[in-house]
């Protein structure tokens, strides 16, 4: 009888020790998880945009002073944005190339503009991030009269579509909306 009671006592002591050990494992795991989260959170939080970038998340541009045929550059979120007040000739040239099977990244002119006379694109080459030439009157504009990237020779047409060179994507379009006849909000 005594040996059975001893066995029962030893068995209950082992069960109690196992329960304590399991509890300690769970507590250590929880503390480790919380500690890791606290250590990693600053790294993750640092990847968010800076306050100065968020402050200029959108910008309004007065289009009235931009003359027909003139191109201007503004800065939005630290990137150049090209605004082109297109002439009827540039619009016709862009529309004539809509069905061209040689377009590297096919897109119609109408899908790239909200108003035919205004083309608004992010002025960063889609190859390696250089800024294409073509905004100033004396700049080379490439073989299609749009923009020319001097870094690696990409040519863009008057709709900002890639036509030749190592870039594989058209110039990106920023989100924008016309607030009035002569006012646009980018962002």
What pTM does this model have?
0.68
Question: How much is the pLDDT for 155?
Answer: 92
Q: Which of the pair, 174 or 77, is modelled with greater confidence? A: 174
Could you tell me the pLDDT band of residue 53, with boundaries at 50, 70 and 90?
low
CB of 82 closer than 8 Å to CB of 147: yes
CA distance 78 to 182: 24
Strands across the sheet containing 183-186 = 59-62, 183-186, 176-180
- Catalytic annotation, residues: 152
Q: Kindly report the average pLDDT of the chain as a whole number.
A: 85
Strands across the sheet containing 71-76 = 71-76, 79-85, 118-122
Q: Is the pLDDT of residue 5 over 90?
A: no
Which letter does DSSP use for residue 76 in this model? E
| pLDDT tens digit sequence for 94-128 | 998 888 888 888 889 899 999 989 999 999 999 88
Could you tell me the pLDDT band of residue 59, with boundaries at 50, 70 and 90?
confident
The residues pairing with 76 across neighbouring beta strands, listed in sequence order, are 79
CA distance 108 to 98: 5
Question: What percent of the chain shows pLDDT beyond 90?
Answer: 35
């Amino acid at each position: 009888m005594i040996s059975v009671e001893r066995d029962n006592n030893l068995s209950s002591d082992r069960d109690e020790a196992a329960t304590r050990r399991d509890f300690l494992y769970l507590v250590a795991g929880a503390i480790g998880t919380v500690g890791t989260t606290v250590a990693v959170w600053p790294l993750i939080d640092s990847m968010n945009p800076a306050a100065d970038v968020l402050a200029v998340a959108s910008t309004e541009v007065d289009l009235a002073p931009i003359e027909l045929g003139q191109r201007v550059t503004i800065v939005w979120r630290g990137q150049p944005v090209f605004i082109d007040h297109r002439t009827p000739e540039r619009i016709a040239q862009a529309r004539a190339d809509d069905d061209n099977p040689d377009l590297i990244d096919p897109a119609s002119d109408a899908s790239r503009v909200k108003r035919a006379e205004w083309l608004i694109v992010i002025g960063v080459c889609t190859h390696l991030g250089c800024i294409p030439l073509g905004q100033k009157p004396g700049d080379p504009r490439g073989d299609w009269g749009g923009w020319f990237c001097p870094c690696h020779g990409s040519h863009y047409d008057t709709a900002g579509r890639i036509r030749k060179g190592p870039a594989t994507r058209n110039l990106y379009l920023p989100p924008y909306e016309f607030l009035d006849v002569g006012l646009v909000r980018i962002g």
